[in-house]
Structure 1
Amino acid sequence: MGEAAAAVSSESGEGKREIWIKHYSSSHRILLVGEGDFSFSVCLAKAFGSAKNMIATSYDNLEKLLEKHSTARIHLDELKRLGCTLLHGINVKYIHEDSFLKVRRFDRIIFNFPHAGHYLGFGENNEELIL
């Protein structure tokens, strides 16, 4: 998360330590959508010391995710250890229809790398598509 994202902590009225990383607090209910190898989620969770306030999702099902990202397994294991809820096969376009997610409210929704939706032979790595 870099030096610029130094953690700031404070005591809440209940004696729990609240940690802030830029725009994110350990007291926020955080939804992370479209995670790749879950490295961002695990970094945030480690900085907070817990992921009990986080739900992290991937577009791919677990099998496809592990096929695509060799580093995902270690990150998923760490997130589970830290108490994160993990969901796979979640298309953000239809998230409002997901029976688990539609009844929850979040303080922050993080979508770091949304798919640009280009399928005309360009591929997502084409520099002309990256602004």
Structure 2
Amino acid sequence: MGKKKEKKIQHYSSSQKILLVGEGNFSFSACLAKAFGSATNMVATCLHSKDALRRKHQSSGPHLAELKSRGCLVLYEINVCDMNQNPSLMSMKFDVIIFNFPHAGHCGLNETDRLLIE
């Protein structure tokens, strides 16, 4: 059985071990998994519990199903400030860590507003 062909999407490659931190509704990680055809090289995390995620990001269901079907490890309740103490992550090594610009949670402002950036 031959080795799978490497797929590249911009800065990312299916041959890299990728950690996705602070995924909101997991749409980015699901998109990456679809483009690679697999997510066995990916670990996707979010700050929320599974239940809180479902309430906060109702659109996350299909994205999580996509990730699961493609072999992604999804971890809940992972805070970026102390994730190095998480038993599931402590022994893992990654080639790439992706922390997309987090949503600041302010109503009425968007991520380009100077007040919010400051």
TM-score, length-scaled by structure 2: 0.88
Is 1:109 the equivalent of 2:97?
A: yes
Unaligned runs of 5+ in 1: 1-13
2:40 to 42, 52, 65: 52
Q: Which structure 2 residues correspond to residues 27-38 of structure 1 after superposition, within 5 A?
A: 27-38=15-26
Equivalent in the alignment of 2:57: 69
Which aligned segments of 4 or more residues in structure 1 are displaced greater than 6 angstroms?
none
Trace 1:111-130 onto structure 2 (pairs within 5 A). 111-114=99-102, 123=106, 126=109, 127=113, 128-130=115-117
Q: CA deviation at 1:130?
A: 3.1
Aligned length: 113
**TM-score, scaled relative to structure 1:** 0.80
Unpaired runs of 5+ in structure 2?
A: none
Write the distance in 1 (CA, Å) between the matches of 2:93 and 2:65: 25
Structure 2 match to 1:5: none
Provide the secondary structure at the position in 2 that maps to 1:18.
coil
Shift of 1:125: 5.2
Shift of 1:76: 0.3
- Alignment match, 1:7: none
Q: Secondary structure of the residue that 1:31 maps to in structure 2?
A: strand
Give the AA of the match of 1:21: I
Q: Give, as a single letter, the amino acid of the residue that structure 1 aligns with 2:53.
A: L
